[in-house]
Amino acid sequence: MLSVGLTGGIGAGKSEVSRLLESYGAVLIDADRIAREVVEPGTPGLAAVVAAFGESVLAPDGTLDRPELGAIVFADPDRLAALNAIVHPLVGARSQELERAAGLEAVVVHDVPLLTENALADRYDLVVVVDASVETQLDRLVGRRGMTESDARARMAAQATREQRRAIADLVIDNDGPLEQLEPQVRRVWAELTRRAERRSG
């Protein structure tokens, strides 16, 4: 089995790359998806978040009010660290469980937005970084996601820099262009990943 860490800055197109890799046959473990699961109503994770941040982070239906929590943590590094200390161990445990369930010849792709920020590169056999210029990221966040430019810049500033991500990359996918330029790159990366997985298993 080959364990791959996939990361990229907000608006870089990492989700599209993970979707393509999964369509080629990768086992996808999505840290964002798991992060939502571990704080669903009735979970120990949600109880811990409420204990740390108060009842105001709950929506009327008992689910986590993500915009409210985001407003608290994105402006305060200490509060963000406190949230990460609750959620990340839960996400890590569930990710390992899913990885153990994959076959011996599988390429397991861990989609981890904050891989660089949390110094997780050593957990994987190799790291793939989806890279885009700051201008491209801004254009996508404002044009496609409807963020204000100030919100987009604040989210980007809370993440690692392009240089920091590229420094830990074994493979880089350049996603400054349109989708038709992305897929051939992802296919080449997939061919390399399957070759390495075969070498490990055989």
Q: Are 31 and 109 in contact (CB under 8 A)?
A: no
SS3 content of the chain, % helix, strand, coil (to 5): 55, 15, 30
d(CA 198, CA 196): 5
d(CA 8, CA 134): 12
Which residues are registered as beta bridge partners of 112?
none
- Tens of pLDDT, residues 12-71: 999 999 999 999 999 999 988 999 999 999 999 999 999 999 999 999 999 999 999 998
d(CA 104, CA 123): 17
Q: Could you state, in order of their start, the residue ranges of all structural domains in the chain? A: 1-26+106-202, 34-103
Residue 12 three-state SS? coil
- Tens of pLDDT, residues 161-187: 999 999 999 999 999 988 899 999 999
Q: Which fold has domain 1-26+106-202?
A: Rossmann fold (3.40.50)
Q: What is the pTM of this model?
A: 0.81
